[in-house]
Structure 1
Amino acid sequence: MTPPTRIKIPAGFWEGLRQLGITANDVVQQAQLPLTILTAPVVPTAQYLAIWQAYSDIMDDTAKGIIKLATVFEPAQYPPSVLATYHARDYRDALKRMARYKQLCPPEILRINEEDEHCTIELDWLNTEQSGPPLLVGITLAFLLELGRRGTGQPLMASSVEFSQPMGDVQALEVYFGCPIQIGANGNRLTLHRRDLDRPFVSYNADLLEILTPVLDRSLGEHQRITPIREIVKWIIKRSLTGGRPDIQTIAKEMGMSDRTLQRRLTDEGRSFKHLLAEVRQEQARMYLTDISLDIKEVAFLMGYEDQNSFYRAFRQWEGVTPSHWRAEHLGTQTR
């Protein structure tokens, strides 16, 4: 999926800051941005991230900024895509709606996996080379727990939380989330107790959902039509490679459609899932091989291959040479 170049500032963001005693001007000045950004419907991605970083700098402690902003938001300030989650039938329904409609509100994207007694929600970025500041990561995961607490009316606690970057006062975060916090993890994840997902929402509103759901689904459909389906599929494959060989059923499910529908739409664009998978692997192989800190075995693993020989055979089909020869030729060209 092509990363967004312009992003809408969350509805209620400025009002939330005002309730914390922080003016919009304070944040804009801290970010060294023009005041016209306050009335802009959308802003460039770099400016969007700069605003979040400025708020973090003003709060001085990332954990404090996360907890305060997560708890100050009122449902009346939610945009329709979030309002639909707040009035869902239960916590599971709310999280699925959040992950689905998050596609309308980049740059984050959520992946939900239920297994055994836990439900893990992993946060990814549409632009993997420009991830958000730690505070934005933290507020995203905190809001998911806050959604469950407000929807069920119960003081739910997480099972565990993982952050890839320092988050300030870890003890304060452990009190808020009610669980151990791991810093320096290989990703950003919120793990919930799966039993909590069945808890009904006291804020459930079937009539409102009947109005909001068709509108949001149409908006999502329009959004997906604007971006070629092949680009969306390639992006999902790219971030799923290290977990093994992604199949069309898994990709289709994540996109909210059947595998037959996905295959038909790819065919309409003159592509196939098998072709896209090979294309992504070839592109990623080239990228990884230019990183001399990775040996060939590590590259094969990152590509989702179970053994190095399978990777060698595939690479020779793509490039006509072995990965080692391609790397030597490429690095030799760069150093001339």
Structure 2
Amino acid sequence: MSSHSYNRIKMPQGFWEGLRQLGIASHDVTRKAGLPLTIISETTVSTTQYYAIWQAYSDLTGDVAQGIIRLATVYEVTKYPPPILATYHARDYRDALHRMARYKQLCPPESLKMVEMGEKCMIDLEWIVTDQTCPPLLVGLTLAFLLELGRKGTGQPLTASAVEFAQPMGDVQALEVYLGCPIRTGGSRNRLTLHRKDLDLPFLTYNEELLEILSPALDHTLHEYKVNRSMSDIVKWIMKRSLSAGCPEVQTVAKELGMSDRTLQRRLMDEKTSFVHLLTQARHEQARMYLTDLSLNIKEVAFLIGYEDQNSFYRAFRAWEGVTPANWRSKHAERYAKPEDTFTGR
């Protein structure tokens, strides 16, 4: 999905108040970000402004990890917008996380993908806007808030099982103490892994009456949000989010959208496109993005966009770009390469 679709990002309620509690003046943040002071009164900002604000906070706080810990622990629940507030009144931790994932559909440029497997629950943070680099502090804070959600709701000092970040996170040791688990940086994704048994813990703040008030409002907002976007955009967004789990099928996407596969295909025909065409576009766009990440080899890129074997990916990519993935990477990702990097085996 193009970054244009996400040109207006909601600023979190209470963000500026949270900074004030940390002793950081709003005008210092806006000045550092190179933005006008009036941005403080804006409820939505552009993606560029959104990232600039978070990067400015990160710079002013001095260390990424410390900035994550300080803001995650000082932020007051009462400052959250109603949909997030509803997560704190969920039945249990699992219910709260599912509600948070649904709310994130309204919060581009990020989305959450949650998978329970064995004794673990993996939550991947994915960025739909891929033409800009998200500040590491924002990545870390987003995942930290998910753990804080469980701690505040259950009243227990929960810890994560493991955390993986694609970018450096400053004082990793301090962050490991805060999260209670080992942290890997420089990985291929941003993932919070929780202990699955913790998801069954009831929330002390469970409030059925309040949920009955807040949930319909979120459902209505989600409906309006989807209505105002083209079906093609929504389908491609779901595809990009799902590719690493394998090639998405039309039935799976249709089910997520709450419609039959025939209805979905008809809606796409009305927009003069098809499921297969959008899948090809999604794979092509994601392949170009992943190839600029030199930490990923060609086989990994093929897997991340839903190809089971590398040869199939090679054939598809040559059809898209007229060159092999390695040759495309050599030309377009050259400025990211370290002196010792070679592309012959990538």
Coarse TM-score class (shorter-chain normalised):
0.7 to 0.9
CA distance change for structure 1 residues 63 and 284 in 2, over 3 Å: closer, same or farther? closer
Distance in 2 (alpha carbons) for counterparts of 1:76 and 1:20 = 17
Q: Which residue pairs with 1:257 in the alignment?
A: 258
- How is 1:100-111 mapped onto 2 (pairs within 5 angstroms)? 100-111=102-113
Distance 2:158 2:232 in 1: 39
Offset of 1:284 from its aligned partner? 5.6
Q: Which sections of structure 2, spanning at least 5 residues, go unmatched?
A: 332-346
Question: SS state of the match for residue 124, structure 1?
Answer: strand
Cα distance change on mapping 1:161 and 1:308 into 2, 3 Å: closer
Give the 3-state SS of the residue equivalent to 1:151 in structure 2.
Answer: helix
> What is the CA distance between 1:322 and its match in structure 2?
7.4
Report the 3-state secondary structure (helix = DSSP H, G, I; strand = E; otherwise coil) of the residue aligned with 1:159: strand
User: Structure 1 residues 297 and 87 mapped into 2: Cα distance closer, same or farther (>3 Å)?
Assistant: closer
1:216 corresponding residue in structure 2: 218
Q: Report what 2:51 is aligned to.
A: 49
TM-score (ref. length: structure 2): 0.83
| 2:279 paired with 1:274 | no
- Please, which runs of 5 or more residues in structure 1 have no aligned partner? 332-336
In structure 2, the partner of 1:201 is 203
The answer to whether the 8 A contact 2:160-2:193 is kept is yes
**1:96–1:226 distance in 2 versus 1, CA, 3 Å:** same
Q: CA deviation at 1:100?
A: 0.7
Which range moved further: 226-235 or 150-159?
A: 226-235
> Offset of 1:238 from its aligned partner?
3.1
Aligned identity (percent) is 65
Contact 2:68 2:144 in 1 (8 A): yes
- CA gap of 1:125–1:312, structure 2 versus 1, over 3 A, is closer
8 Å CA contact 2:163, 2:182 repeated in 1? yes
Report the residue type matching 1:276 in the other structure.
L
Q: 1:252 to 1:16 in 2, by over 3 A?
A: farther
Q: Distance in 1 between matches of 2:174 and 2:296?
A: 37
Partner of 1:180: 182
Matches within 5 A, 1:235-254: 235-252=237-254
On the 8 A contact 2:188/2:296 being kept in 1, the answer is no
Alignment of 1:1-336 (within 5 A): 1-3=1-3, 4-252=6-254, 255=256, 257-260=258-261, 262-263=264-265, 265-266=267-268, 268-281=270-283, 300-301=302-303, 303-308=305-310, 310-311=312-313
Secondary structure of residue in 1 paired with 2:108: coil
Distance 2:65 2:316 in 1: 46
Distance in 2, matches of 1:219 and 1:17, equals 28
Q: Quote how far apart the aligned CAs of 1:267 are.
A: 5.0
User: Which range moves more in the overlay, 4-13 or 266-275?
Assistant: 266-275
Residues 256 and 76 (structure 1), Cα distance of their counterparts in 2 relative to 1, 3 Å cut: farther
CA drift of 1:35 comes to 0.6
Number of residue-to-residue matches in the alignment: 325
One-letter identity of the residue aligned with 1:241: L
Residue 278 and residue 33 in structure 1: after superposition, are their counterparts in 2 closer, same or farther (change >3 A)? closer
**Matched-pair contact (CA < 8 Å) for 1:108–1:125:** yes
**CA offsets, 1:133-175, max 9 Å, x none?**
0100011000000000001111100000111111111111011
Describe the SS at the equivalent of 1:160.
Answer: strand
Q: Distance in 2 between matches of 1:290 and 1:52?
A: 24
Cα offset for 1:243?
3.6
Q: 8 Å contact 1:6–1:44 — kept in the other structure? A: yes
After superposition, the C-alpha distances for 1:81-130 in whole angstroms (9 at most, x for unaligned) are 21111111111111111111112122211111111110011111120121
CA RMSD across the alignment: 3.0
| C-alpha distance in 2 between matches for 1:19 and 1:306 | 50
3-state SS of the aligned residue for 1:190?
strand
Supply the distance in 1 between the matched residues of 2:234 and 2:117 (Cα, whole angstroms): 26
Moved more, 230-239 or 4-13: 230-239
8 Å Cα contact 1:163-1:184 kept in structure 2: yes
Q: Distance in 2 between matches of 1:195 and 1:152?
A: 13
The answer to whether the Cα contact below 8 Å between 1:164 and 1:183 also exists between their aligned partners in 2 is yes
For 2:161 and 2:296, the matched residues in 1 are separated by 34
Of 262-271 and 128-137, more deviation after overlay is shown by 262-271
Aligned-pair CA distance for 1:272:
3.8
Structure 1 residue 246 displacement after superposition: 1.5
- In structure 1, what is the Cα distance between the partners aligned to 2:294 and 2:157? 48
**2:160 partner SS:** coil
**1:159–1:179: 8 Å Cα contact kept in structure 2?**
yes
In 1, the alpha carbon distance for the partners of 2:295 and 2:260 equals 38
CA distance in 1, matches of 2:165, 2:322: 37
Whole-angstrom CA distance in 2 between matches of 1:88 and 1:71: 20
Write the letter of the residue equivalent to 1:221. Answer: H
